[in-house]
Amino acid sequence: MTRDGRLGVGIVGGGHVGPVLGAALGGAGHAIVGVATVSDAGRDRVEALLPGVPVLTVPEVVERSELVVLAVPDAELEALVAGLAAVGAWQPGQLVLHTAPGFGVQVLQPALAAGAIPLAVHPAMAFTGTSLDLARLHECWCAVTAPAPVLPIAQALVVELGAEPVVVAEADRAEYGAGIAAVRALSGGVVADAVARLRAAGVPQPGRMIGSLMRSEIENALTAAGDEPVA
């Protein structure tokens, strides 16, 4: 970490999440040193959200970064962390943060064994991979899991993203991830089916029609569950 608390941040993953988090952290004053992505779509997102930031290989990103953000598909995370450990890429004192909802910091054990500091931060929102997400982060809650001595670091990074941190224990991350997966499956499937049915019924702009209905139904369901309704 530099003297003024700013970090050199590297992003691994050019999907919908990584470049957005990079842009948010860059906006908070951190230096984005590079993004690792191999897809054309990922390169386009980097160019749009992080102009001037170089696209590098994964080892190059890890080598240059004080904070490495691993924004990769959940199924790829464990092998990625272990593979980088096998080639000696992780550095003592380096912050390593992943965004997978169902994993805590245990999945980062190979990096921890090399002296890195493990953090698990999952923003609970649906990303578009565009600048629209930067505003949505300010209405977002992030599940934060980290060893107690470095938990404040993870929480501070979430605040810098513009979001609100919520601590989730390591033992509860799998259950948290299952809850997030249920919401994603429900919302995506229900919306697609409802829009198709309303469109078939001749309803113009069915998405707009069901928007207010879904919001009211969700607020009612949250109230019935004893939680606060959506603002």
Please, how many CA atoms are within 13 Å of residue 85, restricted to the half-sphere of its CB?
A: 17
Confidence of residue 2 (pLDDT cuts 50, 70, 90): very low
Helix (H, G, I), strand (E, B) or coil at 52: coil
Residue from 87, 93, 88, 95 nearest 12 by CA? 95
Q: What is the number of structural domains in the chain?
A: 2
pLDDT tens digit string along 201-230?
888 888 877 777 777 777 787 788 777 654
Q: Is 2 contained in some domain?
A: no
Considering the domain architecture, whether residues 150 and 44 belong to the same structural domain is answered as yes
Q: Is 229 contained in some domain?
A: no
Q: Is 83 contained in some domain?
A: yes
Per-residue pLDDT averaged across 35-39, rounded?
96
Considering the domain architecture, whether residues 180 and 160 belong to the same structural domain is answered as no
Considering the domain architecture, whether residues 29 and 139 belong to the same structural domain is answered as yes
| pLDDT for the residue numbered 187 | 67
| C-alpha–C-alpha distance, residues 52 and 38, integer Å | 17
Q: Is 182 contained in some domain?
A: yes
pLDDT at 170 over 70: yes
Considering the domain architecture, whether residues 220 and 114 belong to the same structural domain is answered as no
| pLDDT for the residue numbered 191 | 79
Confidence of residue 21 (pLDDT cuts 50, 70, 90): very high
Considering the domain architecture, whether residues 153 and 187 belong to the same structural domain is answered as no
Confidence of residue 3 (pLDDT cuts 50, 70, 90): very low
Average pLDDT value for the chain: 92
Per-residue pLDDT averaged across 39-67, rounded?
97
pLDDT tens digit string along 178-199?
999 888 877 667 778 888 888 8
Considering the domain architecture, whether residues 164 and 207 belong to the same structural domain is answered as no
Per-residue pLDDT averaged across 1-18, rounded?
84
Considering the domain architecture, whether residues 154 and 201 belong to the same structural domain is answered as no
Considering the domain architecture, whether residues 180 and 74 belong to the same structural domain is answered as no
| pLDDT for the residue numbered 177 | 95
Q: Is 230 contained in some domain?
A: no
Per-residue pLDDT averaged across 81-101, rounded?
98
| pLDDT for the residue numbered 131 | 95
Considering the domain architecture, whether residues 182 and 153 belong to the same structural domain is answered as no
Q: Domain end: 125, 147, 168, which one?
A: 168
Strand partners, 12: 36, 70
CATH of the domain at 37: 3.40.50.720
Letter for the amino acid at 177?
A: G
Considering the domain architecture, whether residues 160 and 179 belong to the same structural domain is answered as no
Q: Which domain holds residue 187?
A: 175-224
Q: Is 128 contained in some domain?
A: yes
Considering the domain architecture, whether residues 220 and 132 belong to the same structural domain is answered as no
Q: Is 47 contained in some domain?
A: yes
Q: Domain end: 151, 168, 185, which one?
A: 168
Residue from 201, 147, 191 nearest 169 by CA? 147
pLDDT tens digit string along 136-154?
999 999 999 999 999 999 9
Q: Domain end: 123, 149, 168, which one?
A: 168
Tokens of 64: 């240059």
Cα angle 127-120-133, degrees, rounded to a multiple of 5: 20
Cα angle 62-47-98, degrees, rounded to a multiple of 5: 35
pTM value is 0.86
How many whole angstroms from its chain centre is CA 211? Answer: 25
Considering the domain architecture, whether residues 161 and 184 belong to the same structural domain is answered as no
| C-alpha–C-alpha distance, residues 138 and 159, integer Å | 9
Helix (H, G, I), strand (E, B) or coil at 126: coil
